[in-house]
């Protein structure tokens, strides 16, 4: 027994307990990412199972490869059982298992933290924690590097650290630190003979546990407290180096949420609910604009750094010259159950009145909350807005040039050099023979709405950036407002028209004379194009859910209607209708009904039943080495063949039994070997070993060697003696994981 092991408690026992404890703590660091705490119960069961496998198998001297193998089988079996317990009626359980991971990817891509409960995400979290458990165990015990265990443990901390837009809660770091300290504490107890320098302060301190605990208190606890204290005063890392952008204003960096994530999430809500109501003094509703995406590159449309100015009075809309008879709108908005840092406003806002701290960007006229809890600033908020309705006249817009200089031209004008050629060629084909920029934009809009064969769908082909555009424009031709708006803005850039994508809400549905209700599925994206004298002008390329503005429709197209005036060369000045954007309620493709999870007791029964089945399968696999070894023993001692061969078979069985019980086969003649092995056996077993060695000697060197003894009984007596002298864990390993089986297999593989 090793010097640092106490009777009944092994080094591997302490490490297995410490690793299990550390991973259980680390698993709670994923809580800020989801509203579903159900993953914790399942992952805790899995971690305990994997920890028990490590403890038991290493206690009985099985190798690291065996431990990892059984842990992997348990991980796969448990996650498969969990997938069956999460519901779903697909005929093929294996396809359901794979589909859940794909569902998790889609859910995380379309949700913001904390995500709503999803069975695929739950399964993914459980599987990820299981993998972290195995990796941590490998670091601590497999390669004997406990200090390296911080790598897999911290990976669970880095997921919310990189994904969350808010600061990661302090308790996430504390959970990782305490778990890691537990592993180091276990190592300290196991290797206390290397720790005493300068730690003991009296001769009354005894025991490695007390010594390691004192080291933990003297070193570990102050380190954790100091790190937490420094974390409150040291500035956090900005995201500039990660390819992200943050708006910069009077009060420093402020991280902006990605509005396209909210867009995908809300369009795919299982139920449509009202998120805001507003009244306006104009007869028609208003698009409620929240964010602007001016940057276009290989990754798609995205935010840019904003120069924020505090206040509630905004400058005139960039590039827009005041026109006689321009409509000024007064709107009162009441937000209900909707959270965002962006303030929904009709474009172009001139002033607003709202509680809280707000700042605006002069170029985009986007307004953001800047106070504490800014991401939840508009929930249950009521505010008033004064704005100007930018409604160009058709003939005037058709004569406007797109060569003006937007104040953010460095973002809204450049055409990416790596834009795919097929997008450029399609744009040139659509706008061929059209000179006026506004008519080019109208032709692109008409292609997307009418002539291009596109259909509205909230389930486009997967992809991002250029790939998503190409999938939409050339392959699937299905998408929702993000694909339509992004495609039109991209093709406008190719045509030389400055462009950006706006994200907000459709006008909603009229209730009474002047009240409108806006639902969660009314969230929308549309392109804004720049024209000299008008500034940023809204277009509407998304069919079915919204009508195009009158100034964007050319006479003779299907959007103009059968009675549209005949003006083929310029947009028709169609009079404003009462509601230029009808309600988007009739969505062509209904969102799939939410998959109802079965009751908790059914999930427990399913998972329990599958776990029992998996346990039986694991037990059967675990029994295979024992069965093979037993089969070999029976074959050797069957008493068939020449006498000399029977003696050699019995001798080979004893040799393999020595290896199975953790011993080494001595060198020398059969008589010398028999004497050495018999020395450590009881009298009866020693006599059997000596007799067998003499029979081997006679069989090898004598021409006449009759067998007058029961070789099977002699061999079993020797094995009983080996078992009696061995420790319990060695006896277990010899029965269930016989080393001789793998030694012979390795010898065959290398040809020796």
pLDDT digits (tens, 9 = 90+) for 271-306: 788 999 999 998 889 999 999 999 998 888 988 877
The verdict on residue 605 lying in a domain is: no
Highest mean pLDDT among 175-184, 221-230, 589-598: 175-184
- List the 499-505 sheet strands across, edge first: 345-346, 288-293, 499-505, 523-531, 535-538
Q: Please determine, for residue 479, whether its predicted confidence score (pLDDT) is greater than 50.
A: yes
The lowest-confidence range among 107-111, 399-403, 636-640 is 107-111
In a domain, 616, yes or no: no
227 shares a domain with 316: no
Domain-embedded: residue 34: yes
Residue 403: which pLDDT band, with cuts at 50, 70 and 90? low
Do 164 and 252 lie in one domain? The reply is no
| pLDDT tens by residue, 673-721 | 888 888 888 989 899 899 888 888 888 877 666 777 888 888 999 999 8
Which pLDDT tens digit goes with each residue over 140-172?
A: 888 888 888 888 888 777 776 655 545 567 777
**Torsion of Cα atoms, 583 then 586 then 589 then 593, to 10°:** 100
For the full predicted model, state whether its pTM sits above 0.85.
no
User: What b/e string do you get for 679-696 counting C-beta neighbours within 10 Å, with b at 16 or more?
Assistant: eebeeebbbbbbbbbebb
The model's pLDDT over 356-394, given as tens digits with 9 standing for 90+, comes to 899 999 989 999 988 877 778 888 999 999 999 888 888
Q: What CA–CA distance (Å, rounded) separates 172 from 491?
A: 45
489 membership: H or E segment, kind and range: helix 481-494
Tokens for 232? 């409150």
pLDDT-derived band at 396 (thresholds 50, 70, 90) equals confident
Question: Is 625 part of a structural domain of the chain?
Answer: no
| Cα Dmax for the chain | 127
Looking at the structure of the chain, the number of domains it has is 3
DSSP one-letter code for 374? G
The residue count of the chain comes to 752
Tokens of 696: 């081997």
**Of the candidates 721, 662, 637, the residue with the CA atom closest to the CA atom of residue 686:** 721
Residue 4 lies in a domain: no
Let me know whether 643 and 568 are in one domain: no
Q: Output the CA–CA distances (angstroms, integers) from residue 252 to 247, 290, 308, 309, 315, in the order listed.
A: 8, 21, 9, 11, 21
Q: Are residues 670 and 575 in the same domain?
A: no
Q: How far apart are CA 558 and CA 556, in angstroms?
A: 7
> Which residues, other chains included, contact 383 with Cβ-Cβ below 8 Å and sequence gap of 6+?
332, 333, 343, 352, 353, 354, 355
Are 310 and 363 contained in the same domain? yes
- 236-245, 314-323, 443-452, 557-566: lowest mean pLDDT where? 236-245
Q: The tokens of 493 are what?
A: 């850039």
Please check whether residues 533 and 656 belong to one and the same domain. Answer: no
Its domain, for residue 739, covers: 637-750
Say if CB 34 and CB 117 are below 8 A apart.
Answer: yes
How far apart, in whole angstroms, are the C-alpha atoms of residue 507 and residue 284?
A: 8
Percent of the chain clearing pLDDT 90 (strictly above):
23
406 shares its domain with 305: yes
For residue 574, name the pLDDT band (cuts at 50, 70, 90).
very low
Distances (CA, A) of 70 to 53, 162, 751: 7, 33, 28
Chain centroid to CA 655: how far? Answer: 52
- Beta-carbon contacts of 271 under 8 Å, excluding residues fewer than 6 positions away, are 594
Q: Check: CB of residue 524 under 8 Å from CB of residue 506.
A: yes
- Dihedrals φ, ψ of 667, to 5°? -95, 155
Rounded CA-CA distance 421/23 in Å is 50
Q: Are residues 20 and 61 in the same domain?
A: yes
Whether 517 maps to a domain, the answer reads: yes
Amino acid 314: pLDDT: 93
Q: Provide the pLDDT for residue 229.
A: 47
Contacts 24+ apart (CB under 8 A), 46-49: 46/74, 46/75, 46/78, 46/79, 46/126, 46/129, 46/130, 46/133, 47/20, 47/23, 47/129, 47/130, 47/133, 48/20, 49/74, 49/78
CA distances from 659 to 232, 638, 652, 665, 682 (A): 59, 21, 11, 7, 19
Over residues 172-190, mean pLDDT: 82
Q: Please tell me whether residues 194 and 252 are part of one structural domain.
A: no
3-state SS class at 288: strand
Cβ atoms of residues 363 and 316 within 8 Å: no
Whether 547 contacts 449, CB under 8 Å: no
Q: What is the pLDDT of residues 407-431, one digit of tens each?
A: 888 889 999 989 999 999 999 999 9
655 and 566 in a single domain? The answer is no
Q: Are residues 564 and 662 in the same domain?
A: no
Q: What is the DSSP string of 634-656?
A: HHHTS--S-HHHHHHHHHHHHHH
Residue 327 pLDDT: 83
Mean pLDDT: which of 200-204, 399-403, 524-528, 580-584 is highest?
524-528
When pLDDT is cut at 50, 70 and 90, the band that residue 49 belongs to is: very high
Q: Does residue 5 belong to any structural domain of this protein?
A: no
pLDDT in tens, 245-255: 333 344 333 44
DSSP lists the bridge partners of residue 535 as 531
Answer positive or negative: Cα dihedral of 370, 376, 381, 385. Answer: positive
279 sits in which H/E element: strand 274-280
Q: What is the mean pLDDT of residues 632-655?
A: 87
Residue 621 lies in a domain: no
Q: What pLDDT, on the 0 to 100 scale, is given for residue 571?
A: 43
Portion of the chain with pLDDT greater than 70, in percent: 73
Mean pLDDT of the chain: 77
* pLDDT value, residue 20: 93
Q: Mean per-residue pLDDT for 571-584?
A: 40
What pLDDT is recorded for position 705? Answer: 66
- The verdict on 133 and 227 lying in the same domain is yes
């Amino acid at each position: 027994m090793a010097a640092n092991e106490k009777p009944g408690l092994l080094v591997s026992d302490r490490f297995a307990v410490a690793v299990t404890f550390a991973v259980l703590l680390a698993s709670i660091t994923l809580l800020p990412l989801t509203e579903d705490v159900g993953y914790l119960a399942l992952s805790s069961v899995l971690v305990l199972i994997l920890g028990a496998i490590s403890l038991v198998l290493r206690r009985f001297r099985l190798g690291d490869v065996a431990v990892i193998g059984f842990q992997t089988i348990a991980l796969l079996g448990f996650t498969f059982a969990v997938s069956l317990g999460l519901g779903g009626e697909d005929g093929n359980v294996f396809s359901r298992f794979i589909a859940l991971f794909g569902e998790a990817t889609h859910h995380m891509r379309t949700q913001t933290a904390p995500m709503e409960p999803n069975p695929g995400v739950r399964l993914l979290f459980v599987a990820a924690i299981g993998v972290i458990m195995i990796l941590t165990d490998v670091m601590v015990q497999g390669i004997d590097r406990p200090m390296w265990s911080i790598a897999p443990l911290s990976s669970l901390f880095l997921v919310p650290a990189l994904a969350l837009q808010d600061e990661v809660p302090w308790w996430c770091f504390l959970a990782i630190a305490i778990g890691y300290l537990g592993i180091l504490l276990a190592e300290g107890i196991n290797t206390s003979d290397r720790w005493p320098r300068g730690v003991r302060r009296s001769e009354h301190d005894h025991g490695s546990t007390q010594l390691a605990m004192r080291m933990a208190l003297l070193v570990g606890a102050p380190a954790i407290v100091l790190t937490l204290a420094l974390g409150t005063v040291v500035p956090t890392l900005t995201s500039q180096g990660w390819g992200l952008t943050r708006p910069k204003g009077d009060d420093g960096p402020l991280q902006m949420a990605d509005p396209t994530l909210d867009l995908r999430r809300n369009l795919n809500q299982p139920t449509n609910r009202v998120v805001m109501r507003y009244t306006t003094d104009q007869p028609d509703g208003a698009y409620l604009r929240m964010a602007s995406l001016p940057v276009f590159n290989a990754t798609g449309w995205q935010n840019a750094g904003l120069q924020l100015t505090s206040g509630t009075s905004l400058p005139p809309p960039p590039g827009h010259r005041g026109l006689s008879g321009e409509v000024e709108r007064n709107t009162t908005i009441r937000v209900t159950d909707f959270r965002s840092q962006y303030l929904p406003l009709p474009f172009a806002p001139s002033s607003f009145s709202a509680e809280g701290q707000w700042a605006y960007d002069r170029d985009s006229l986007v307004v953001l909350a800047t106070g504490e809890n800014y991401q939840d600033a508009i929930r249950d908020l009521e505010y008033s807005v004064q704005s100007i309705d930018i409604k160009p006249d058709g003939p005037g817009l058709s004569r406007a040039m797109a060569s003006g200089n937007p104040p953010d031209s460095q973002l809204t004008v450049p055409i990416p050099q790596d834009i795919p050629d097929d997008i450029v060629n399609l744009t040139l084909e659509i706008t061929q023979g059209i000179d006026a920029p506004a008519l080019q934009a109208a032709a692109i809009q008409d292609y997307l709405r009418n002539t291009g064969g596109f259909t509205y769908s909230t389930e486009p082909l997967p992809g991002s950036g250029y790939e998503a555009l190409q999938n939409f424009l050339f392959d699937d031709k299905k998408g929702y407002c993000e694909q339509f708006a992004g495609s039109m803005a991209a093709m406008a850039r190719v045509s030389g028209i400055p462009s950006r994508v706006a994200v907000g809400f459709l006008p909603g549905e009229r209730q009474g004379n002047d009240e409108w209700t806006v639902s969660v599925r009314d969230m929308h994206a549309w392109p804004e194009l720049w024209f000299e004298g008008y500034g940023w002008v809204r277009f509407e390329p998304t069919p079915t859910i919204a009508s195009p503005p009158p100034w964007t429709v050319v006479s003779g197209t299907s959007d103009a209607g059968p009675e549209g005036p005949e003006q083929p060369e310029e947009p028709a000045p169609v009079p404003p209708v009462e509601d230029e954007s009808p309600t988007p309620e009739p969505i062509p493709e209904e969102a799939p009904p939410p998959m109802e999870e079965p009751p908790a007791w059914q999930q427990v029964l399913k998972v329990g039943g599958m776990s029992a089945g998996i346990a039986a399968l694991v037990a059967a696999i675990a029994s295979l080495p024992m069965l093979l070894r037993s089969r070999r023993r029976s074959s050797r001692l069957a008493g068939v063949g020449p006498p000399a061969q029977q003696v050699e078979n019995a001798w080979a069985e004893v040799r393999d039994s020595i290896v199975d019980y953790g011993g080494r086969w001595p060198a020398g003649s059969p008589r010398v070997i028999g004497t050495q092995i018999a020395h450590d056996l009881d009298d009866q077993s020693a006599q059997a070993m000596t007799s067998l060695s003499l029979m081997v000697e006679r069989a090898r060197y004598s021409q006449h060697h009759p067998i007058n003894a029961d070789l099977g009984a002699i061999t079993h007596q020797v094995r009983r003696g080996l078992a009696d002298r061995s420790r319990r864990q060695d006896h277990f390993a010899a029965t269930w994981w016989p080393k001789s089986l793998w030694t012979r297999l390795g010898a065959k593989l290398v040809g020796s």
